[in-house]
């Protein structure tokens, strides 16, 4: 598929249905309505990738404390993957967290999720810890951290 132009922009209430749909497609069997409630309640920044007629992906970040930002959800629709859209969303999220004065960004990722880990490593994230049985199906999570101060 050829994507003519991708606009990375703030989430608007008009995107609600599409973000819900992406969450359902990508994170089943999680409850997308509950997920979106969490993003809108606890998220400090919800960014979408708009490809004109639809939303191809989104990323949600929150401020954990004075020094730490966190990526709490991140997804690109299957048919729009490997086109650089995830990188564009992640780059924008990092810049915005940095602009909020944070010194590091952390996230949790499934140990089996090589695709996401590869992307995060490209941006300088490193695995710092493992949380055993973090996910509801019992899978472990890696904690990955990107220090911002020395960049």
Contacts with ligand COA by CB under 6 A lie at 26, 74-76, 81-87, 107, 109, 113, 115-116, 118-119, 122
Query: Which of 39, 76, 36 minimizes the C-alpha distance to 55?
Result: 76
Three-state DSSP state, 26: helix
Give the residue at shortest CB distance from ligand COA.
86
Question: Cα 130–132–134 angle (5° rounding)?
Answer: 100
Q: Which is nearer to ligand COA, 19 or 85 (CB)?
A: 85
Q: Which is nearer to ligand COA, 55 or 75 (CB)?
A: 75
Minimum distance between the CB of residue 107 and ligand COA, rounded to whole angstroms? 6
Minimum distance between the CB of residue 147 and ligand COA, rounded to whole angstroms? 19
Q: Which is nearer to ligand COA, 142 or 148 (CB)?
A: 142
Minimum distance between the CB of residue 32 and ligand COA, rounded to whole angstroms? 13
**Strand pairing partners for 50?**
7, 55
Minimum distance between the CB of residue 117 and ligand COA, rounded to whole angstroms? 8
Cα separation of 122 and 78, whole Å? 20
Question: Cα 132–57–150 angle (5° rounding)?
Answer: 65
Relative to beta strand 141-147, strand 126-131 is antiparallel
Q: Which is nearer to ligand COA, 115 or 130 (CB)?
A: 115
């Amino acid at each position: 598929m050829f994507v003519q132009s991708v606009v990375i922009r703030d989430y608007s209430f008009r995107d609600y249905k599409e973000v819900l749909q992406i969450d359902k497609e990508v994170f089943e069997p999680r409850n997308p309505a509950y997920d979106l409630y969490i993003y809108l309640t606890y998220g400090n920044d919800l960014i979408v990738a708009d490809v004109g007629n639809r939303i191809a992906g989104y990323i949600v970040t929150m401020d954990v404390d004075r020094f730490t930002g966190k990526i709490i959800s991140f997804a690109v629709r299957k048919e729009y993957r490997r086109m650089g859209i995830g990188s564009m969303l992640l780059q924008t999220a990092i810049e915005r967290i940095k602009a909020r004065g944070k010194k590091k960004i952390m996230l949790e990722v499934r140990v089996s999720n090589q695709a996401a880990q590869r992307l995060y490593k490209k941006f300088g994230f490193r695995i710092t810890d493992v949380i055993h049985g973090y996910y509801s199906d019992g899978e472990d999570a890696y904690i990955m951290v990107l220090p911002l101060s020395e960049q």
